[in-house]
Amino acid sequence: MKIDKNIKVKEPLIAVAFSLLLPGLGHVYIGDIKRGLYWFAILVIGGHAFAQYLIHPATPLSFIIGYVLMLFLAFLVISSISLLIDVYRCAKRFNAKHRLKRSLSAWRRMKIIGLIVILLFFNPIEFIYNPFANQKAYKIPTGSMSPTFIPGDRIFVNLSQFKNKTPQRGDIVVFEFPDDPRFDFIQRIVGLPGETLEIKNNRIFINDIILKDSLSPDILYFSRGSFGIKGNPILIPEDNYFVLGDNSANSRDSRYWGFLHKNNIKGKAYKIYWPLSRAGPIK
């Protein structure tokens, strides 16, 4: 067999590193563009579709759909491992076919292995595109927002919701606790800047008018604490909000510590994703 001296060795470890950087890129490095497009379609396009379906606010997650998503996620994980094995083998077959010997020194090979380890935990591509970049997952630890959330619920929070929008009454927001910024709280906005608020007869009164819209009529609010209690209406300052837990009998909220400044708000909760029996958009 005649050897083409213009064909260069394809180092399997370099092919693996390229594949970790972007699925399919390792196969393009080897010269197998069709195979690279195949892996790109499965892991990049398929992964993007999975992420968008999962985090889209209006997408319901029924019990059956949830398990289908779990199976698809398992498929993506197995495919990711298969990709690395496949590109490694393809590089070795390419070298064997063209009778090429690996030319990397042991030291350079170790550096590539180190790069592979780094790419397993840190991928610069994520700074260019990451469908979860503006999302954060939280686990509900207490029953202060029951029945909307119960302990153990896992939710998605949109961290960019209020970059160009103003929080609205009824929004469930995650925020830094004003008394201790080390902790994040989650509660519902009931009072807006410039409004006068009072809690009496288990209802919210805004500007001395009972609030009927934006809040569930099934939620009872108790006049406790120091702010907005019966007989002592309060004026909410500019750029501040009044927040309450849906489980008013068991919630440390604005009634006790006062107003929530807009700069403390991190994002809006919009979807329960676990457990599957409770998964779906947040109302």
Whole-number Å distance between alpha carbons of 275 and 270 = 15
Nearest one of 175, 180, 178 to 157, comparing CA atoms:
175
At 134, the pLDDT band (50, 70, 90 cuts) reads confident
Structure-block tokens of residue 56: 């889209």
Domain ranges of the chain: 12-128, 135-281
Q: What is the pLDDT at residue 177?
A: 92
Tell me phi and psi for residue 127, to 5 degrees: -75, -20
For residue 114, CA distances in Å to 80, 83, 127, 189 come to 19, 19, 21, 48
Alpha-carbon distance of 156 to 102, in angstroms, equals 47
**Could you give the CA distance from residue 136 to residue 161 in angstroms, rounded to a whole number?**
12
pLDDT score for 193: 97
Quote the mean pLDDT of the chain: 85
> Rounded to two decimals, what is the model's pTM?
0.70
Write the pLDDT tens digit of every residue in 161-203: 898 899 999 999 999 998 888 899 999 999 999 999 999 988 9
Residue 96 pLDDT more than 90?
Answer: no
**Domain over 135-281 is classified CATH 2.10.109.10:** yes
Spatial neighbors of 14 by CB under 8 A, at least 6 apart, are: 26, 29, 91, 112
Q: Which DSSP state fits 111?
A: H
